[in-house]
Amino acid sequence: MTQTTLKSIPQAPSAPPQSAAAQAVWPRMGIRRAVLAGLLCALLAVFLLSLAVGSVTIPLEEIITVLLGGEASRASWSAIVLNFRLPRALTAMLAGSALGVSGLMMQTFFRNPLAGPYVLGIRSGARLGAALVILSVGTVGGTMLAGIGLTGDLSIAFAAMIGAGAVMGLVLAVARRVSSSMTLLVLGVMVGFLTNSFVGLLLFFAIPDQIQAYINWTFGSFNGVTWNQLRIMAPAVIVGLLLATLLTKSLNALLLGEGYARTLGVNVLRVRVGVVLATAVLAGVVTAFAGPIGFIGIAVPHLCRSALGTSDHRVLVPGTMIVGALAALLAAIIAEVPGSNLVLPLNAITALIGAPMVIAVILRRREVAFST
């Protein structure tokens, strides 16, 4: 074989052991453990903070007591932490991670810095499902859903999941056939227009109370998710995050474009299906339970890239999970307006605080705008 005549790479460095100075030339790679650990600590701190603040402020040691299974000095505090703030915090963290990671996948996959978790039309599907339930309460459809025992928030979540699932099925079916991934982007936009027009029709015939209820749903909220719903949401999000973790290596290859990914041995079709599946599960489940929460999915990957200084997904996937959870928790805390009984719409908060941050980051570091 000709192979044997090839001058092969030395198994061990043929040069004498390099001095420390010579080795310093080579940049270090791999996951930035220190930064990720720091972010995790920040997440833990904000998590505890989110349990402490709200309409009433609960001292930190009381919260730790409750979390460790003890009883707070006031019984109402235990109830507030366990029944309200803890599920809210967990929901926020799951949703933030899910949106951050799915946004990252979409930005890399479509090589587009403006892509986010919803570009495949997942939110549009969920929105149509939710709108059908909310806007048809008291009509035939609503009665039918009530008839099979699905009422209130759970039926909205259920309908939103079906809507998201339907769109996912459509995108998956197309993803297996088309040669260019960009077709999926166009498909997602078109699905968005289609469902929007349906929702528009529903809104046109709806009564003001229903419209208000629908608008409230579109604001997004982590408050409505109960422990029972978390039992569905948490495993689904974790499955989606695991799938994203499995795709890490392929996402790195896709940084160079699909052509290079192919020459590196990546099965682009399989990766495409995996990416669509993971994104749809993550974005779909979050939207179903917490409403169409915007902005986090687009902003978090940018913040991570900028903060971690790399496009390497072995760093970015865990990074966006943590930063996404952090961002969602902070948004949830601010939306509650600590010390008051006011609750602001979550979606207003995420963009209000997040957009200036992202603009600042992009202006400070022009590369980020192109760093997909």
Interaction site with another protein (CB under 8 A): 1-3, 5-13, 25-27, 29-30, 111, 246, 248-249, 252-253, 255-257, 259-260, 262-267, 305, 309-312, 314, 367-368, 370-372
Classify residue 9 by its DSSP letter.
P
DSSP per residue, 87-118: HHHHHHHHHHHHHHHHHHHHHHHTT-TT--TT
Which CB, 148 or 177, lies closer to another protein? Answer: 177
Of 107, 157, 159, which is closest to residue 129 (Cα–Cα)?
159
Q: Find the shortest distance in angstroms from Cβ 311 to another protein.
A: 4
Nearer to another protein, 316 or 331 (CB): 316
Q: Which is nearer to another protein, 2 or 341 (CB)?
A: 2
In the complex with another protein, which residue's Cβ is closer, 128 or 315? 315
Single out the residue of 173, 194, 199, 286 nearest to residue 240, CA to CA.
286
What's the closest the beta carbon of residue 189 comes to another protein, in angstroms?
23
Residue closer to another protein (CB basis): 14 or 341? 14
* DSSP one-letter code for 4: G
Half-sphere exposure at residue 222, Cβ-oriented, CA atoms within 13 angstroms: 31
CA torsion angle 270 261 116 39 (round to 10): 110
Closest CA to 48 of 96, 92, 89, 91: 89
The answer to whether 101 and 241 have CB atoms below 8 angstroms apart is yes
Nearest to another protein of 204, 370 (CB atom):
370
User: At closest approach, how far in Å is the CB of 253 from another protein?
Assistant: 5
Report the residue number, 10 or 69, with the smaller CB distance to another protein: 10
Q: Locate all alpha helices (DSSP H) within the chain, ordered by sequence.
A: 20-23, 33-52, 60-67, 75-79, 86-109, 122-135, 140-147, 152-175, 182-205, 208-219, 227-246, 248-254, 258-263, 268-290, 296-308, 313-335, 346-364
Contacting residues for 240 by C-beta, under 8 A, at least 6 apart: 98, 101, 102, 278, 279, 281, 282, 285
Give the nearest distance from C-beta 111 to another protein in angstroms: 7
Residue 51 vs 321, nearer CB to another protein: 321
> What's 224's DSSP letter?
T
Minimum distance, C-beta of residue 259 to another protein, in the bound complex (Å):
5
CB of 114 to another protein, least distance (A): 14
**What one-character DSSP code corresponds to residue 221?**
-
Closest distance between another protein and the C-beta of residue 240, in Å?
18
Instruction: In angstroms, give the least distance from the CB of 271 to another protein.
Output: 11
